[in-house]
Chains A and B, each alone.
Chain A
Amino acid sequence: MRIRNKTQLAETLETCRPALLDNPNILKALLAIQSARGYVPTNAIPQIAQVLGVTEAQVAGVLSYYSDLRTQPPGRHLIRVCMGESCMANYGARVFRAIQEYVRMTVGDPTQAKRFTVEQMSCAGNCALSPTVMIDADLYGRVTPSGVPSLLEPYR
């Protein structure tokens, strides 16, 4: 379930409010917001800082440090292509190009708007089945450039 409005953001944040004498955990709060909403909107930084009792700079610092924290809403499906060494050795860069190509072809078609976000990731721990592509929570191994269209087809 994605949060649609401010009150829901506040509700998620409330679960992260540190108990008296407890230390606030900024990363945990940001991950909770991202898992509820898909990303962490930067305009929520003041509110987050206030609930956690830390400075805005501390929140912004953590948010920008971790590469898996997103500040923009992703597409309906998040494609992450592994760029770890085992996948590199198995020509993962070619798979990445094929995916970019496929996604580019769908750009401009309004029915396909916001369908995919493509990112690179580091090792998915699937190295014996390289090259690896992760789509949302699904893990795929031995992906070939020619297999890309049929791989992405079901993700509408």
Chain B
Amino acid sequence: MAAARSLSPEAIVEELRISRLRGRGGAAFPVWKKWQVAQRIRSEQKYVVANADEGDAGTYCDRMIMEGDPFRLIEGMLVCARAIGATRGYIYCRYEYPAAARAMRFAIQKAREADLLDSDDYSFDLEVVSGAGSYVCGEETALLESLEGRRGVVLAKPPYPAESGLYGKPTIVSNVLTFATIPNILANGGAWHASLGTEGSRGTMAVQLGGRVKQPGLIEIPFGLTLRDILDRFGGGMAAGSRFKAVQIGGPLGSLFPESQLDIPICYDAFAEAGAILGHGGIVVYDHETDMVELARHFMAFTADESCGKCTPCRIGSVRGREILERIQSGQGTAEDLFLLSDLGETMKATSLCALGGRAPYPVLTAIEHFPNEFRSKLSAFSSQQ
């Protein structure tokens, strides 16, 4: 913050451009571009919103930051407020994190008492707001709807929140980890941040290892390490009694990887090329006892439950997808059902309004691609003849 105070708002954005920081919430959009849009719009009111919905199962680094180092988040938000000229901020915290919400409220109180939120040339008001158990409320437009107290329904973009967000005002919505990275960038310089990582992915990635590894936990790595490195060196291999089957990266919308694809480097480009996502950095390892058909059904059921209902491919497609998988599970499925599922998946990918419907088919289709026999062996006897 001391560094930020000595810089003009334009110079702060310039430092971020040099750092080549990309958003850590999932979409990996360059942070400086968003800030610049909001900075250049004239408006009597602008907002800064921290996305602490951390909906991806298997991720917890936002929770760790809020419970362990809440001032880092506050500082990052203050820098943003200064850069774009915002006077109000909100931290939208998921309902499942009561302890994190408490820690944040306490830290804000302390910061206010120490006069850290206000300074001579501006004042900043910060509030923690609780969600109520909706995955899609992590999507930025749905999050803002929810922040205004309505149903968390996704809106079509543009306009982007940076132009017209909360109550129609310019709003920066960024992930907790994105904000928490900013104090370090300003303290050490954008060039320092850009010197870490790979060509398209600068800096470090907070990887959250979970599932059947020996040593689960949160690790910060420079981009570029391979998936295998992470599982072996940091995860310590498989948990006792477990054999590796598949690993999923990027939460419930992330693709599954079999043993043969573990040499992929952890960076945005390699993952985009593989049609996969890093998402919020959650890595979950499944062992030999995992039933892939049940897992695929679980993912489709999740999307069916969480769809906001606004667009048809996601709302109806996820329900049909779940029904097909249930049919296969009960032994009534046919080879045509597998074909139907992939056709449905392609439609959802191409036509959904947001990444919930657009990414939902990936874990299901990658499960079928890498473990086809588990699906085929469950098809009804009539169809497996052909």
Contact = CB atoms under 8 A, between A and B. Distances in A.
A83 B299 CA distance: 11
A58 B254 CA distance: 34
Nearest to A93: B294
The 8 closest A-B pairs by CB, nearest first: A84-B57, A68-B133, A86-B210, A25-B149, A66-B132, A89-B211, A123-B57, A125-B63
B60 A125 contact: yes
B157 interface: no
Given A61-B151, A85-B251, A89-B212, A123 B295 contact: no
A27 B60 CA distance: 25
A83 to B, nearest CB: 8
Interface stretch (B71-79, B91-99, B224-232, B341-349): B91-99
B59 A88 contact: no
Interface size class of A (residues with CB under 8 A): 35 or more
A23 interface: yes
A27 B284 contact: no
Contacts of A128: 60, 208-210, 216-218
Interface of A, helix, strand, loop or mixed by DSSP: mixed
Contacts of A126: 60
Interface of A: 23-31, 58, 61-62, 65-69, 82-91, 121-130, 134, 137, 139
A31 B96 contact: no
Nearest to A84: B57
B135 A90 contact: no
B152 interface: yes
Interface in B114-136: 129-135
Interface size class of B (residues with CB under 8 A): 35 or more
Nearest to B217: A128
B55 A122 contact: yes
B282 interface: yes
Interface stretch (B188-196, B285-293, B325-333): B285-293
Contacts of A86: 57-58, 210-211, 216, 282, 284
B259 interface: no
Contacts of A65: 134, 151-152
A89 B298 contact: no
A122 B133 contact: yes
A29 B149 contact: yes
Contact of A130 (B99, B152, B211): B211
B171 interface: no
A67 B134 contact: yes
8 contacts: A65-B151, A68-B95, A85-B211, A90-B211, A125-B59, A127-B282, A129-B216, A130-B216
B149 A127 contact: no
Nearest to B98: A137
Interface string B296-323: 0010000001000000000000000000
